[in-house]
């Protein structure tokens, strides 16, 4: 009989406030921040997590966040090149776009929120149609990672040129180039060598007049946008030069010449912020600070209104004056202004700062003053840092009832409720390296890098005892099974034994302490110490790659386990005290017998060094984690890998196994803590290996298809500035296979019906002929073959439809054309039919033209499709006319109600001219 195991799966991830992989967004006390593969929504005022945007099965990190003008739609770019549109109200995915081959680094919505431009590390730009959920085209021209994208829309231009201006795109890249693209003709209008070093950021002023770019060498440059050149096109001046769209204006001086990571204009107020790295100048005062030079633009309107004819090189620097520097409590990853206008009643603005140390802060920026002597300072309004560590998680330990988890990092010790994953205690400590609950679960012992053992009382969150146990790092702690002795191993080549001492209640701060009992000196640094569960043996691993086994009562030498090539960093002993498993930096796990010290098996377990290993309670199954970011589950009797779990994005340093065997907890360098629970789903090793092989094959197939796609083009097309948007994924391959299966099923069903009709027509005595049995699938769904194929095609996501149709061979395309003709004739989903027809005609144009048989099916399809589209056009026109009538009626009623409130006639007429929605007004009676 085949042995089965129980599968484990990821259930919860906590301890992460924000990650360093992406920018952040802020709006009205709500922050939208990246958290590895998720996006977290925080209420900064209350310090509560409002939502987590998580898609099951997706593991790529968030690399870019951009908000749509529609407000509730966010574009999220990921490290695998995919883009997802999220609805902030329902926390669900609206659409998924796949087109880039590398991480998405820049996103921008147009003014109406119907188009999305994306830039990536693969140097490509892709324009997406959000309404049709399809990629329009791919623009190529940059030679390095695209770092900034902006649409140009100037609201004060005449309506005749609005369409041309809204189709202008600005991009900057690390190749030092800034490009101006005309999206209506899909070509590059101007290329500017903007900086001598990599361009890291760009932003356009709210009035769309000026453009600012920041580079890697600390330069901040201002550029003027010439809208006349855009409207007139590429014309030659009197000197014979072509009018340029982007003109260099001036360089703005910064206090420090470090990389300009981010430049940003406030959307409403006259403020401009710059983030640049400070490495050495300000380190004396505060480590790893960032400069935020908030500058006013209050003079801009006055200068333009007066019609100043002076050149911009002179006037622009005078429009910007340094206001203040915001010094955050840690290294700044990104920042953002609030997107909503504070209003006339509120003075100043707020700036939202996401720190690289897993924390968020909001600062109040005071309004500028007229007095020269007064220096302005930003005040911190909100701070969010409790639900996570500032540094990587180095140690985890669980209470005996699995209800409480303690995590330790450099500088802090946190206590978590495992049911709610809420942080219930935070205590200051040194650099925590190892930890262990003490008997009774009321105290925790923590070993630090400085050689101290700290005892914390969880109920009062106080440090009750501190012992200078070792002269160097305390690498390991373990409590003897009888709960009377704590053993510690350190880098000072000593193993020390400590007894617990409960003191009188008269000294509450010293109610629990450690008393040194004896010391065992070793020949090398001690990396790990473990008692056997039966209390007879003590295992000590050393820096010389050996493990020494001693009798715990007399400390006499018993066994030496030799075989690892590098130091044994971790080990554990099974509950029956028969097996000991050791993990080493040589990437191997060795399973030994404790009877004679024989090595049962040596397994190459991880691609990098192994950091922790633990047996599951009451079994010979054990868990390992390593620097390769993987958690693995093993059978210690059959020496088989049961399951491989992926989830963390950096090295895994800490591991804790449930005392009841229900779950495991891992802590990583990415500052996240993840819980992996045992499920009821059975797992068979053969099926698991087959699934892994299939995943490898599918990944290889997708990579080969995406790699061969440009390779199959001609050399002229390779250098083309505009190409189509196509990227094959596992989902598109599966969708294409489903369409082919549906076509085969429908064709066979129609062929059987056709043969039956022919036979019925030939034979005179056709009364006794029975019709062929229907296909079970069609009979179960009660659908005709044509309706069944349409149902399968409609289930394909709109964003993956084009790539799925590319999978079809030409014979299947001919078969699909017949069904498209039927659908157009019946008027079924005309929009989808037209989209598929036009795409197939464009892709397979040469084959269709060369095939004479296609002419007989294309002519009736043209007639049917024209009639169906004409009917759709009439319906849309009727609806538009009705909507316009409703809007006019609504505006007329609004103006009438305003007149009834004794408003001035000029105001009502102005409202009618604007054609805007009515706003609240205060009327004095």
Lowest average pLDDT, out of 17-26, 294-303, 492-501, goes to: 294-303
List own/partner pairs for 641-644 with CB under 8 A and 24 or more apart: 641/603, 641/605, 642/5, 642/683, 642/685, 642/688, 643/5, 643/7, 643/8, 643/683, 643/688, 644/692
pLDDT at position 779: 83
Collect all residues with Cβ–Cβ distance below 8 Å to 675 and sequence separation of at least 6.
10, 11, 12, 13, 418, 421, 663, 664, 665
Q: How many CB atoms lie within 10 A of CB 733?
A: 18
Whether the CB-CB separation of 613 and 570 falls below 8 Å is answered with: yes
Please state the rounded mean pLDDT for residues 763-787. 78
For residue 883, what pLDDT band results from cuts at 50, 70 and 90?
very high
765 vs 328, residue with greater confidence:
328
Q: Does the pLDDT at position 921 exceed 50?
A: no
* pLDDT at residue 829, rounded to an integer: 85
In this prediction, residue 565 has a pLDDT band, given cuts at 50, 70 and 90, of: very high
**Overall average pLDDT of the 395-423 stretch:** 93
Retrieve residue 126's tokens: 């892709």
Using pLDDT thresholds of 50, 70 and 90, give the confidence band for residue 161: very low
Is the pLDDT at 33 greater than 50, yes or no?
yes
CB atoms within 10 A of CB 638: 12
Query: Can you state the angle between helices 810-826 and 830-843, rounded to 10 degrees?
Result: 150
Q: So what's the pLDDT on residue 286? A: 26
- Report d(CA 776, CA 780) in Å as an integer: 6
- Residue 651, H or E segment: none
pLDDT at 302: 30
Give the span between the Cα atoms of 210 and 226, in whole angstroms.
9
Q: Which of 615, 447, 597 is nearest to 528 (CA)?
A: 447
Mean predicted confidence (pLDDT) in 800-812: 86
| Residue range 618-650, pLDDT digits in tens | 999 999 999 999 999 999 999 999 999 998 999
Q: Which of 113, 19, 112, 105 is nearest to 63 (CA)?
A: 105
| C-alpha neighbours within 13 Å on the C-beta side of residue 529 | 31
pLDDT bucket at 856, cuts 50 / 70 / 90: confident
Q: Considering the chain, what is the average pLDDT of its residues? A: 83
Q: pLDDT: is 593 or 159 the higher one?
A: 593
Contact, 20 vs 333, CB < 8 A? yes
The per-residue pLDDT for range 100-142, each reduced to its tens digit, is 999 999 999 998 889 999 999 999 999 999 988 888 889 999 9
For residue 212, count CB atoms less than 10 angstroms from its CB and return exposed for 0-12, middle for 13-18, buried for 19 or more: buried
Query: What per-residue confidence (pLDDT) applies to 329?
Result: 86
| CA 665 to chain centroid | 22
Cα(428)–Cα(679) distance, rounded to whole angstroms? Answer: 36
Q: What is the pLDDT of residues 473-483, one digit of tens each?
A: 999 999 999 98
The mean pLDDT value for 265-282 works out to 69
Sheet containing 62-67: which strands, arranged edge to edge?
Answer: 62-67, 73-78, 82-87, 92-98
> At residue 183, does pLDDT exceed 80?
yes
* Percent composition of the chain: helix, strand, coil (DSSP 3-state, to 5): 25, 40, 35
pLDDT digits (tens, 9 = 90+) for 198-251: 999 999 988 888 889 998 888 888 898 888 877 777 677 666 677 788 888 888
What is the helix (H) or strand (E) element at residue 314, kind and residue range? helix 312-319
Q: What is the mean pLDDT of residues 363-391?
A: 83
- Report yes or no: 424 and 682 within 8 Å, Cβ to Cβ: no
Residue 912: the pLDDT is: 53
Contact 32, 41 (CB under 8 A): yes
- B/e letters for 477-487, b = 16+ CB within 10 Å, e = fewer, are bbbbeeeebbb
The residue written with tokens 């298809």 in the block is 705
Percent of the chain with pLDDT strictly greater than 90: 42
Range with the poorest average pLDDT among 49-58, 444-453, 463-472, 728-737: 728-737
In 3D space, the residue among 685, 686, 691 whose CA is nearest the CA of residue 642 turns out to be 685
d(CA 837, CA 713): 23
Pair of tokens at residue 8? 């484990």
**What Rg value do the Cα atoms of the chain yield, rounded?**
34
| Dihedral Cα 807, 812, 817, 818, nearest 10 deg | -150
Q: Any idea what the Cα angle at residue 259 is, between residues 256 and 265, rounded to 5°?
A: 85
Q: CA dist 635 to 212, 273, 581, 602, 707, Å?
A: 60, 56, 11, 13, 39
| Phi and psi torsions of 905, nearest 5° | -65, -35
In angstroms, the Cα distances linking 341 to 27, 266, 379, 914, 918 are 10, 10, 19, 21, 18
Give the whole-angstrom CA distance, residue 819 versus residue 822: 5
Counting every residue written for the chain, the total comes to 925
pTM of the model: 0.82
pLDDT over 70 percentage in the chain: 85
């Amino acid at each position: 009989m085949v042995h089965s195991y129980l599968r484990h799966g990821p259930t919860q991830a906590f301890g992460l406030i924000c990650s360093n992989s992406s920018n952040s967004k802020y709006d009205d006390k709500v922050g939208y921040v990246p958290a590895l593969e998720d996006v977290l929504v925080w209420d900064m005022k209350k310090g509560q997590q409002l939502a987590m945007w998580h898609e099951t099965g997706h593991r790529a990190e968030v690399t870019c966040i951009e908000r749509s003008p529609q407000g509730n739609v966010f574009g999220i770019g990921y490290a695998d090149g995919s883009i997802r549109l999220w609805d902030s109200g329902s926390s669900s995915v609206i659409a998924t776009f796949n087109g880039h081959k590398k991480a998405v680094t820049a996103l921008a919505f147009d003014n109406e929120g119907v188009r999305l431009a994306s830039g990536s590390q693969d140097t490509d730009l892709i324009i997406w149609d959000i309404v049709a959920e399809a990629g329009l085209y791919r623009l190529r021209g940059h030679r390095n990672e695209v770092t900034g994208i902006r649409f140009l829309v100037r609201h004060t231009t005449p309506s005749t040129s609005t369409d041309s201006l809204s189709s202008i795109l600005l991009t900057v890249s690390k190749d030092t180039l800034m490009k101006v693209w005309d999206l209506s003709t899909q070509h590059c209008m101007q290329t500017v060598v903007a900086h001598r070093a990599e361009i890291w950021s760009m932003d356009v002023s709210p009035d769309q007049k000026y453009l600012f770019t920041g580079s890697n060498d600390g330069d901040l440059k201002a550029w003027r946008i010439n809208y006349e050149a855009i409207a007139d096109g590429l014309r030659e001046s009197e000197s014979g030069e072509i009018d340029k769209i982007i003109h260099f204006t001036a360089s703005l001086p910064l206090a420090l010449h470090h990389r300009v990571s981010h430049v940003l204009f406030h959307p409403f107020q006259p403020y401009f912020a710059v983030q640049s790295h400070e490495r050495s100048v300000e380190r004396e005062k505060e480590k790893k600070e960032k400069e935020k030079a908030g500058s006013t633009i209050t003079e801009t309107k006055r200068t333009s209104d007066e019609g100043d004819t002076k050149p911009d090189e002179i006037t622009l620097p005078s429009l910007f004056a340094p206001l203040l520097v915001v010094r955050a409590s840690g290294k700044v990853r990104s920042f953002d202004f609030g997107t909503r206008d504070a209003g006339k009643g509120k003075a100043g603005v707020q700036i939202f700062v996401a720190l690289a140390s897993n924390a968020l802060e909001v600062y109040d920026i005071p309004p500028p003053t007229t007095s020269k002597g007064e220096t302005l300072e930003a005040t911190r309004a909100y701070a969010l840092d409790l639900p996570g560590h500032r540094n990587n998680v180095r140690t985890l330990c669980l209470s005996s009832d699995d209800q409480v988890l303690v995590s330790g990092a450099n500088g802090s010790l946190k206590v978590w409720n495992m049911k709610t994953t809420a942080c219930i205690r935070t205590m200051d400590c040194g650099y925590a390296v190892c930890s262990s609950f003490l008997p009774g679960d009321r105290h925790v012992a923590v070993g630090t890098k400085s050689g101290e053992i700290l005892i914390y009382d969880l109920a009062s969150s106080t440090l009750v005892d501190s012992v200078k146990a070792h002269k160097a790092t305390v690498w390991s702690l373990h409590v003897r099974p009888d709960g009377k002795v704590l053993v510690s191993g350190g880098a000072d080549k000593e193993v020390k034994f400590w007894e617990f001492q409960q003191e009188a209640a008269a000294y509450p701060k010293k109610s629990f302490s450690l008393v040194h009992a004896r010391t065992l000196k070793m020949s090398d640094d001690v990396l790990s110490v473990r008692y056997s569960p039966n209390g007879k043996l003590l295992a000590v691993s050393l820096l010389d790659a050996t493990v020494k086994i001693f009798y715990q009562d007399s400390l006499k030498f018993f066994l030496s386990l030799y075989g690892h090539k590098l130091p044994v960093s971790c080990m554990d002993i099974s509950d029956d005290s028969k097996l000991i498993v050791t993990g080493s930096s040589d990437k191997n796990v060795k399973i030994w017998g404790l009877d004679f010290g024989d090595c049962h098996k040596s397994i190459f377990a991880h691609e990098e060094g192994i950091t922790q290993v633990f047996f599951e309670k009451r079994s010979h199954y054990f868990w390992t984690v390593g620097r390769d970011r993987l958690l693995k589950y093993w059978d210690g009797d059959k020496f088989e890998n049961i399951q491989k779990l992926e989830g963390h994005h950096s090295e895994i340093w800490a591991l804790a196994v449930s005392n009841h065997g229900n779950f495991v907890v891992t802590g990583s360098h990415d500052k996240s803590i993840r819980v992996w629970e045992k499920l009821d789903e059975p797992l068979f090793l053969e099926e698991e290996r087959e699934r892994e092989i299939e995943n490898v094959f599918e990944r290889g197939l997708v990579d080969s298809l995406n790699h061969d796609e440009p390779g199959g083009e001609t050399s002229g097309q390779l250098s083309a500035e505009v190409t189509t948007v196509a990227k094959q994924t596992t989902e598109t391959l599966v969708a294409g296979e489903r369409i082919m299966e549906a076509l085969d099923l429908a064709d066979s069903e129609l062929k059987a019906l056709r043969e039956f009709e022919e036979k019925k027509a030939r034979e005179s005595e056709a009364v006794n002929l029975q019709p062929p049995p229907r296909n079970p699938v069609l009979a179960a769904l009660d659908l005709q073959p044509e309706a069944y194929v349409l149902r399968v095609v409609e289930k394909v996501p709109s964003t993956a439809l084009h790539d799925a149709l590319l999978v079809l061979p030409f014979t299947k395309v001919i078969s699909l054309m017949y069904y498209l003709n039927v659908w157009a004739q019946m008027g079924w989903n005309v929009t989808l039919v037209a989209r598929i027809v036009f795409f197939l005609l464009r892709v397979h144009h040469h084959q269709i033209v060369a095939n004479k048989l296609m002419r007989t099916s294309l002519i009736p399809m043209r007639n049917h499709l024209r009639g169906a589209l004409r009917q759709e056009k009439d319906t849309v026109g009727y609806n538009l006319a009705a909507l316009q009538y409703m809007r006019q009626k609504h505006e007329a009623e609004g103006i009438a109600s305003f007149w009834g409130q004794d408003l001035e006639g000029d105001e009502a007429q102005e409202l009618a001219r604007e054609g805007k929605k009515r706003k609240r007004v205060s009327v004095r009676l």
